[in-house]
C-alpha cells in the first residue's frame, strides 16, 4: 500500500559438520557451539543476501551478521542474541567465546544499520546494556497482532466467566499455573468459571475437569480460524498469559483487538504490549508462581469487569487505534525513504 515490498525468505540448512561437532560436545559433557549460527552457515546466508539490490529490511539480526552491505539497510529486533541465548537455552553450556563471536558480529551489524526498529523499549535498553553501546538511530515500533482484524466483534452466548489460555507450548507459557489459578477460583469464588484452552492439548490430568474446554489448534491464517479465534477473544472474560519466555507476546495485542483484558508477567517487553489498556494485570516475576497472589488479582479483575461491562469496549478501542498495522507501518515508513523498493 505504501511502498514496493519484495518478501524474501532465506533459511539454508545447518552446516552438518558444525551440527555433528556440537552434538558430540554435548554428549561428552563439554561446552558447545551454536550450529545454527556457525560461520559456514552465516556465510551461506550472506551470499544469498548479496544477490539483493536496494535497501533491505531485516527481520531479526543474528542470521544476517556476516552480510556485507553497501546500501542502506534496516533492522527489526525484539531481543539481542546474548539475551536470547540465556533465555531460550538456560540449561545449555555454550562456549563463552562462541557467544562472544556471534555477539560481536551482531554489534557491528546493528551499528551499521541505517535504522533499528525495536519491538519494545525493553529490547533496546537490554541490547544497549549488554552490548555496552548506544543505538541512537532507533524507533520503538512494537508489534501488531497476527490475526485478521474483523470490523465488528464476534461474540458467542456465554453467561459464565471464562479465562482464555492460548499457546502452542502449554508448560512453557504458564499452562500449569493457569490451571492452578482456575481451580482455586472455581472452588472458592466463581463456581461457574470456565477455562478455554487453544493450541497444544493440555496434559491428561486436566482433561475431564468440569469447566475445562479445549478448542484444539486454530489456524488463524484461515478465514474460519480467524473468526473462531475472534469469537473466543470476544466472549472470554480474561486472557491468562503467564509465559516465562515470551519477550513480547502478540497474543496480548490480538486479545486486545476484541476487548479482552490480559494478565501477564511484568518482565521483558510484555507490559509494553498492554500499557495503554484500560484494564490490565501485571504479575511481578518474583510472584509468577504464587497462586494465591495471581488468583486474587484475577478475581479482582473479573469483579471489575462484571460491574463495568463497558470496559471491554474501551479496551477494544484502545488496541484498534494504537496497535493496528496501519499505524505501525506509517511509523516505520517515516524512517524509510518513500521511493525505496524494500526487500
Closest CA to 92 of 52, 24, 34: 34
pLDDT higher than 70, residue 245? yes
- What residues does 195 pair with on adjacent strands? 163, 212
H runs (alpha helix) in 144-290: 175-188, 223-235, 250-257, 270-273
pLDDT mean over 169-184 = 95
DSSP state of 151: S
Q: Which residues contact 170 (CB under 8 A, 6 or more apart)?
A: 176, 197, 199, 200, 201, 202, 203
- pTM metric for this prediction: 0.90
C-alpha cell at 186: 472455581
Read off the pLDDT of residues 288-328 as tens digits, 9 standing for 90 and up: 889 999 999 999 999 999 999 889 999 999 999 989 888 88
**Cβ(25)–Cβ(31) under 8 Å?**
yes
Read off the pLDDT of residues 52-103 as tens digits, 9 standing for 90 and up: 877 899 999 999 999 989 889 999 999 999 999 998 887 678 889 999 999 9
SS3 255: helix
Amino acid at each position: 500500500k505504501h511502498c514496493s515490498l519484495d518478501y524474501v525468505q532465506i533459511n539454508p540448512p545447518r552446516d552438518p559438520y558444525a551440527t555433528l561437532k556440537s552434538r558430540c560436545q554435548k554428549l561428552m559433557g563439554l561446552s558447545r557451539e551454536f550450529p545454527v549460527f556457525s560461520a559456514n552457515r552465516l556465510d551461506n546466508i550472506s551470499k544469498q543476501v548479496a544477490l539483493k539490490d536496494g535497501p533491505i529490511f531485516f527481520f531479526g539480526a543474528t542470521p544476517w551478521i556476516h552480510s556485507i552491505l553497501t546500501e542502506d539497510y534496516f533492522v527489526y529486533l525484539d531481543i539481542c542474541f546474548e539475551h536470547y541465548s540465556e533465555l531460550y537455552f538456560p540449561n545449555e553450556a555454550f562456549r563463552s567465546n562462541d557467544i562472544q563471536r556471534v555477539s560481536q558480529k551482531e554489534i557491528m551489524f546493528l551499528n551499521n544499520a541505517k535504522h533499528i526498529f525495536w519491538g519494545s523499549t525493553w529490547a533496546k535498553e537490554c541490547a544497549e546494556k549488554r552490548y555496552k553501546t548506544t543505538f541512537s538511530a532507533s524507533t520503538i515500533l512494537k508489534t501488531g497482532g497476527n490475526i485478521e482484524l474483523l470490523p465488528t466483534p464476534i461474540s458467542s452466548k456465554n453467561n459464565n466467566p471464562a479465562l482464555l489460555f492460548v499457546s502452542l507450548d502449554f508448560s512453557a507459557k504458564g499452562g500449569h499455573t493457569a490451571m492452578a489459578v482456575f481451580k482455586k477460583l472455581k472452588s472458592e469464588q466463581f463456581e461457574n468459571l470456565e477455562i478455554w484452552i487453544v493450541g497444544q492439548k493440555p496434559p491428561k490430568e486436566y482433561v475431564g475437569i468440569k469447566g475445562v474446554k479445549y478448542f484444539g489448534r486454530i489456524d488463524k491464517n484461515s478465514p474460519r480460524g480467524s473468526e473462531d479465534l475472534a469469537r473466543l477473544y470476544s466472549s472470554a472474560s480474561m486472557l491468562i498469559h503467564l509465559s516465562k519466555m515470551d519477550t513480547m507476546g502478540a497474543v496480548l495485542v490480538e486479545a486486545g483487538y476484541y476487548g479482552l483484558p490480559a494478565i501477564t508477567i511484568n518482565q521483558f517487553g510484555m507490559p509494553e504490549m498492554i500499557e495503554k489498556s484500560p484494564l490490565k494485570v501485571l504479575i511481578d516475576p518474583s510472584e509468577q508462581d504464587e497462586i494465591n497472589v495471581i488468583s486474587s488479582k484475577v478475581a479482582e479483575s473479573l469483579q471489575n469487569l462484571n460491574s463495568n461491562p463497558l470496559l471491554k469496549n474501551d479496551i477494544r478501542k484502545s488496541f484498534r487505534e494504537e496497535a493496528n498495522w496501519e499505524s505501525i507501518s506509517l511509523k516505520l515508513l517515516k524512517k524509510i525513504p518513500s521511493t525505496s523498493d524494500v526487500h
